[in-house]
Structure 1
Amino acid sequence: MKSVLIGLLSLFIVGIGVDPQKTAGEETWSHQLDEFVSFAEGEHLEINSWTITMKEALPTHDLKSVQRELRAYLPEGSIKKESNRNANKWTLDGQKTEKLVEQFIVILPKNAKESPELVYVLSGAGTSTLTKSKIDNYVQDVKSRFFSKNVGIFSCLKAKSSGIIDDVLVYQKFQQLFNIATIEEVIEPSWTSRSGYTETWGNAIPLAEKKMNVQFATRTLGGKTNITIGTPIITAEY
């Protein structure tokens, strides 16, 4: 079961076969992140990091001009090129402030029938970086420069407990709060992953014969439990 889930996530990571439904409003991502933060704080969890991710197909003829524009946007950024059996990947990393990091990823599928994709990730550490106005400025600026108004925008939050907690109980609270129907789960001694669907949020991707738009994962290490929440997937894994 775990290998099946990892295989699915691998497809999402390289951007092959993902066709998210568009969000119902401009502020869906912001609302999701606010709700995740409120939930984590209500469970007395320490917030480690968060990410906002935008992802959209790119017309092939735009690739070179987009790369030039990305370099102009992050002139001090570092460029990395990678390749696997599914795609070539061009990554531009840049740090806008001491605590906020931006990353652009251009995914070039090796299957000629698949469209190239552009991914943008804005990330921060701890609660001190969760300034809504600043995050919104970055997201809206990048969206207007490089994406269409229908771009998929995803949220992800990582938090940890001060000790080992009952991850089943915490997930049940999360499930009830957001009215989530659990679709698939993997339970191991120190690691769990649950996928589900809720009408609370608009993004969704196909999973077997159903739709999924939220993941809730836990890992217990060193006497502490780490929790990661992502919509529709744990997008920090891009």
Structure 2
Amino acid sequence: MWKNILAGVLAAAIVGTGAYPQEMTQEQEPLMMFASFAEDKQLNVEEWTMMMKRKVPAEQSGEIMERILEQGQHQEVSHEETAQAEKWIVTNRHKNKKIVETYSMISPRNMKNKAELVYSIQGEGTSSLTQDLFLSVEDVKSRYFSKSATIFSCLKAVSNGIIDDVLVYKKFKDTLDVATIDEIDENGWTSRSGWTDKWAQSIPSGKQSMNVQFATRTLGGETNITIGTPIITAEY
């Protein structure tokens, strides 16, 4: 009980006066829980990422890109054409905030194949996790993705020294009620996948479903921790 209260207090402190845990959507909760856990264990949050993917009919890709470009707030636009596909990458770097938004669209020349739209937003530290940020992500979701679209969340943190990754994972497991499905341990690198009832989104893993991954890597006298749902989408 006290762990849940502490996580709620930390999450409220992270997002300031705007967003509280009971006001968050299921897509926002995992990232805030990861950040709260890192703050509680005195880990330095280096960066976080949220990502959405969608397959769209190739003939609709041009219209969608026009709508994205019409927003008029993007600082960088790249366009590439090959014999197989057309690729757009649109980037918006927020002023005075360490936040970067990216849209990418790969549209195949063969109209029988579907195009892929990917939206990602990433930031540095917990100070960039604000209510306005989450409102912006919800707006993008409603404009270009379905209500049921999965949001992939990932957070990277680092300790000031080498720590016991087994103990840290146990604390993470206890905090979020994670049932471990699979574990890999190879020379200073570990990866664990599991299931928690804290949020609904998941992907199949053999005969089971998984919705959280926890990875650690020890390098140069410090331990790097990467947490993701339903899978880790960044390199670690």
2:42 match: secondary structure? coil
Residues 65-86 of structure 1 deviation map (CA, whole Å, 9 limit, x = unaligned): 1122222334422326599x9x
- Gap change, CA 1:68 and 1:39, over 3 Å in 2: same
Partner residue in 2 for 1:208: 206
Report the number of matched residues.
Answer: 210
Q: TM-score, normalised by structure 1?
A: 0.78
Q: Which one-letter code corresponds to 2:117 in the other structure?
A: L
1:236 match: secondary structure? coil
How far the C-alpha of 1:56 sits from its partner, in A, is 2.3
Q: Distance in 1 between matches of 2:87 and 2:231?
A: 20
Q: Distance in 2 between matches of 1:149 and 1:125?
A: 27
CA contact (8 A) 1:60 1:116 kept: yes
Partner residue in 2 for 1:60: 58
Q: Which one-letter code corresponds to 1:231 in the other structure?
A: T
How far the C-alpha of 1:225 sits from its partner, in A, is 0.5
Q: Which has the larger radius of gyration?
A: 2
Moved more, 87-96 or 42-51: 87-96
Tell me, yes or no, if structure 1 residue 102 matches structure 2 residue 79.
Answer: no
How far the C-alpha of 1:62 sits from its partner, in A, is 1.1
Which blocks of at least 5 consecutive residues in structure 1 are unaligned?
1-24
Q: Which one-letter code corresponds to 1:76 in the other structure?
A: Q
Q: Distance in 2 between matches of 1:134 and 1:207?
A: 34
Q: Which one-letter code corresponds to 2:105 in the other structure?
A: V
Q: Distance in 1 between matches of 2:212 and 2:199?
A: 9
Matches within 5 A, 1:44-193: 44-73=42-71, 74-79=73-78, 81=80, 90-98=88-96, 99-108=98-107, 115-131=114-130, 133-193=131-191
Q: Which one-letter code corresponds to 1:53 in the other structure?
A: M
Residues 36-74 of structure 1 deviation map (CA, whole Å, 9 limit, x = unaligned): 111111111001011122222223321111122222334
- Gap change, CA 1:114 and 1:200, over 3 Å in 2: farther
Q: Distance in 2 between matches of 1:165 and 1:82?
A: 48
How far the C-alpha of 1:204 sits from its partner, in A, is 0.8
- Gap change, CA 1:76 and 1:224, over 3 Å in 2: same
Q: Which one-letter code corresponds to 1:127 in the other structure?
A: T
CA contact (8 A) 1:50 1:124 kept: yes
Root-mean-square deviation over aligned CA pairs: 2.7
1:159 match: secondary structure? strand
Moved more, 172-181 or 91-100: 91-100
How far the C-alpha of 1:151 sits from its partner, in A, is 1.7
Partner residue in 2 for 1:20: none
Which blocks of at least 5 consecutive residues in structure 2 are unaligned?
1-22
Partner residue in 2 for 1:39: 37
How far the C-alpha of 1:126 sits from its partner, in A, is 1.0
- Gap change, CA 1:158 and 1:82, over 3 Å in 2: farther
Q: Which one-letter code corresponds to 2:100 in the other structure?
A: V
